[in-house]
A and B are shown apart, each in its own frame.
Chain A
Amino acid sequence: MSYEHCIRCTICVENCPVFRVNPAFPGPKQAGPDAQRFRSDREKSADEWVLLCSQCKRCEMACPCGVEPAQIILRAQQKYGLEHPHTAAHLLFANNYYLSTLGSLTAPLANRFAATKIGKKIFQRMGIATYIPFPKFSFKTLRGTMKSRSRETRKVAFFYGCFINFYRPDIGRKIIRMLQSFKIDVVLPPQWCCGLPALGNGNLALARSFAGKNVASLSNYVDAGYDIVYTCTSCGLCLLHDYQGIMEIPGAKKIAENSYDLHEYVLKLIAETEIKPPFKEVNRTLAYHIPCHLRALEIGYPAANLMQLIPGLTCRILDDNCCGLNGSYGFKKINEVTALQLGGRVVSLIKKTGAEAIVADCGSCRMQLAGLSGMDAFDPVEILCESLGIKDKK
């Protein structure tokens, strides 16, 4: 909704994690609806601070009036990106997909490089923060290893996303095994990065090109009666929201109407009594960190509903704070302090719960929280698989 509906209540400001710790960022109200009054298409944008917004969307979830400060700022970020040269870090992260493809083809080498002093120096020179280890590339990507076809009733086209594909293909394989155990047919459609990293780094054109290819590919599967299932909550938000919104991709509506978060999908099948997963006892006490983008998907917390079905499991939901990493945001040197402060706060709240491990749907949240706390951080599906006795067989 437009900035004119803003009643200046400052509720969004109270919810902005960046504003809390970085005085250089004026907050969602000023950066969003307030500044929008003065922005003009004809003038070059000079406010570099728009880049400090991490696009966590917490402002939008809190606004009682339906104003979308994050959306207004995202547009300002694209305009800024168009008018100014991109920094090395922005280019690198926008092209994360290509980089990752390269990285996983040369995994042992790339990992060793990222861990060396020289590697770290070069990263720092490029404006990349190195306080937590750069994610390790996996030698065999999911695409490279999984082929699954077993003609059953429900058909799923799995949008696994870059994180699973390049860094944690084992989780991808578990997801496929779990869906198959429910007698669901799973295929891996041709797919590219969702485009969110490019968007987050002010490169709308690149984001659009990824999105266009994904929509074309996925749409064939929808037509053939497949449901699309995604697991990365940021990919999901991008598919459902940004493709139709800022990217204006033709045909995106069809994709949005047929895409489900993995856990939302499993719950739906349970509710429609199509499946009855035989959850066994799991004796764990977990702190469930809700990724900002899961919250922004506006589907509730389906993995929490599912974990409630597991006997013996205690799971405390924590959704008031952003982990600070936000995909590539926290990896940029200018955001390092912000990311560290926010992450530190989340970790201290997690420790207060007395949980033994962390769960979070988003790979980048897990990387941040495990890195800062020294605790294990799981994808909820790993817990579901533990309960169902599903293991990753290569």
Chain B
Amino acid sequence: MSVIEYDVIIIGAGVAGLTAGAWLSGQGLKVALVTAGEPTACLSTGCIDVCAKSDDPLQGIAHLPNDHPFHLVSSGTIRQALDDFQQIMAAMDMPYTGGLENNRRVLSAIGTFKTTCLTPVTMQASPQNGNERIHIITFAGLKDFYPGYIISRFKNASFSTYDAGVSTTMGIAANFEDDAFLEAFILWLEKQHNREDKIAVPAVLGLESAAAIIKQIEYRLERPVFEIPTIPPSMPGRRLFNGLKDHFRRKGGMIYWGWPVVGVEKTGRQIEAVMAQSQGRPNSLNARAFILATGSFVGGGLEAKRDTIVEKVFHLPVFVPGEREAWFDQDYFSMNHGIGRAGIAVDSSFRPTDCLWDNIFVCGAILAHTEALKNGCGHGFAIATGQAAAKSCLEHIQ
């Protein structure tokens, strides 16, 4: 028995689930999204990795192994999905720079360069090599950000420290939303008389107004300013999550927080409802179709037991890369852990293969053979498969 009936229920509030949900809401369907908690996007740099295997992301995708699920998405849909994404984020005042023509580089907090496809506009001016002349600002007491790492890899870099009164990433970012705080910061910066070409700041320039804040600093200092992504808490990751979430809401989507799905109701080849144990009593929600976007191990969609791997919501068959010995590489930091390939195998309509039900679609990091880390296909892959699975789902409903 359920309180309300939806056309589609999305499980998981990651980039994949939010993309699919917003797209379907945009088609006029009644969509709800249920989620256990916040997604891996909050832990990320906010940059959109499509495929880092080559300078040209589409070329990179073409060279992925044959069983990679990226091959199930047409290049037209990939283009459309990323275009849509850029428009959504621009409308949310968090524009993204870049395009599918070529990958970009972003300076990381340890001084290395990360290859990605789209970057938040706040990282647009990120240097492309170690010869650029940059001045780094850090904040008194801010943990986990040491300009020394970067300076040791740059020929011309220096740094200075600003006392923001608070020392946490969240606290500083919240302060930047205050005009008086921003003004004081800019005045201080002007007095530094830095001569370097660009100013670097760890990614704490505001919660939702970062794009406007950076523009104002650039205007006053008359030179490019860019953010350097930090380890979590990561503001650019949170802005990405917030942007997609608010967009989904504006399209009419409904979100159920604290809703870890623990069971399903089914009749014949149809899933009828998903169930959660919410405060005190079981709760269920009905829909005509379901999209599974619960992510991989970190997201919570997959769980490794002693000698098997399970999908936690529908108990779908999971592709498991051989015996447990094959799951992990000897080298801990290797990108070749077999377990990265574990996940749900799907057909060209994003339905799980060998599945007992007709109205389930799967997208995002939970798909088998994704290997997000190794192939550098994170959010970009989630966006593309999110839209592709949503399209398939719409066809099914019609």
| Chain A residues at the B interface, C-beta cutoff of 8 Å | 7, 9-11, 13-15, 19-21, 23, 27, 60-66, 237, 239-241, 244, 253, 256-257, 259, 264, 267-268, 271-272, 295-302, 304-305, 317, 320, 345
Contact = CB atoms under 8 A, between A and B. Distances in A.
B42 A11 contact: yes
Among B36, B171, B258, B278: residue with most chain A CB under 10 A = B258
B283 interface: yes
Given A14-B42, A297-B278, 20 more contacts: A7-B298, A13-B170, A14-B233, A15-B38, A19-B170, A20-B171, A20-B174, A23-B168, A61-B258, A63-B38, A64-B298, A65-B37, A66-B260, A256-B281, A267-B3, A267-B4, A298-B257, A299-B3, A300-B256, A301-B254
Interface in B175-193: 177
Q: Which of A11, A27, A305 has the most CB of B within 10 A?
A: A11
Q: Identify whether the interface residues of A are mostly helix, strand, loop, or mixed.
A: helix
What's the dominant secondary structure at chain B's contact region? loop
Given A64-B39, A240-B281, A256-B280, A305 B258 contact: no
Contacts of A297: 278-279
A317 B256 CA distance: 13
B283 A298 contact: yes
B93 to A, nearest CB: 11
Contacts of A241: 279-280
Interface in B110-144: none
Contact of B280 (A21, A244, A301, A305): A244
Contact of A62 (B38, B43, B171, B299): B38
A15 B37 CA distance: 11
B289 to A, nearest CB: 19
Given A10-B232, A14-B238, A298 B258 contact: yes
A127 B39 CA distance: 40
Contacts of B299: 64
B254 A305 contact: yes
Contact of A61 (B32, B233, B257, B276): B257
A66 B3 CA distance: 24
A290 B257 CA distance: 12
Contact of B166 (A23, A296, A299): A23
B174 A300 contact: no
A61 B254 CA distance: 16
A296 to B, nearest CB: 7
Nearest to A268: B3
A300 B31 CA distance: 13
B361 interface: no
Nearest to B278: A298
Given A19-B170, A267-B4, A271-B4, A296 B258 contact: yes
Interface in B218-263: 232-233, 238, 242, 249, 254-260
Given A11-B38, A240-B281, A298-B276, A304 B254 contact: yes
Contacts of B283: 298-299
Contacts of A14: 42, 170, 232-233, 238
Contact of A23 (B1, B4, B171): B171
B9 to A, nearest CB: 11
10 closest Cβ pairs, A-B complex: A256-B280, A298-B278, A240-B280, A64-B37, A298-B258, A240-B279, A300-B256, A241-B279, A61-B257, A257-B281
* Most chain B CB within a 10 A radius of its CB, from A10, A60, A253: A10
Contacts of B279: 237, 240-241, 256, 296-299
A297 to B, nearest CB: 6
B381 to A, nearest CB: 19
A245 to B, nearest CB: 9
Contacts of A320: 242
Interface of B: 1-5, 32, 36-39, 42-43, 166-168, 170-171, 174, 177, 232-233, 238, 242, 249, 254-260, 276, 278-281, 283, 298-300
A9 B238 contact: no
A329 B196 CA distance: 48
Contacts of B167: 23
A121 B42 CA distance: 45
B296 to A, nearest CB: 12
Contacts of B298: 7, 64
B210 to A, nearest CB: 15
Contact of B300 (A10, A64, A271): A64
Contacts of A299: 3, 256, 278-279, 283
A223 B141 CA distance: 59
Contacts of B281: 240, 256-257
B392 to A, nearest CB: 26
Contacts of B32: 300
Given A20-B171, A64-B37, A264-B3, A298 B242 contact: no
B1 to A, nearest CB: 8
Given A256-B279, A267-B4, A317 B257 contact: no
Contact of B170 (A20, A60, A271, A345): A20
Contacts of B249: 317
A19 B244 CA distance: 24
12 contacts: A10-B233, A19-B170, A27-B168, A62-B38, A64-B37, A64-B299, A257-B280, A272-B1, A298-B257, A298-B258, A300-B254, A300-B259
Which interface residue of B43, B171, B233, B280 has the most chain A CB atoms within 10 A?
Answer: B280
Contacts of A253: 280
Contacts of A259: 280
B257 A295 contact: yes
B18 to A, nearest CB: 15
Contacts of B280: 239-241, 244, 253, 256-257, 259
A55 B298 CA distance: 27
Nearest to B167: A23
A271 B287 CA distance: 13
A326 B47 CA distance: 36
Nearest to A265: B3
A326 B168 CA distance: 24
B164 to A, nearest CB: 11
B30 to A, nearest CB: 10
Nearest to B36: A64
Contacts of A264: 3
Contact of A11 (B4, B171, B232, B278): B232
B300 A295 contact: no
Contacts of A300: 32, 254-256, 259
A302 B2 CA distance: 13
B36 to A, nearest CB: 6
Nearest to B232: A10
A345 B283 CA distance: 33
Given A271-B2, A298-B259, A65 B300 contact: yes
Contacts of B5: 271
B217 to A, nearest CB: 21
A298 B254 CA distance: 13
Contacts of A9: 42-43, 232
A19 B232 contact: no
A20 B166 CA distance: 10
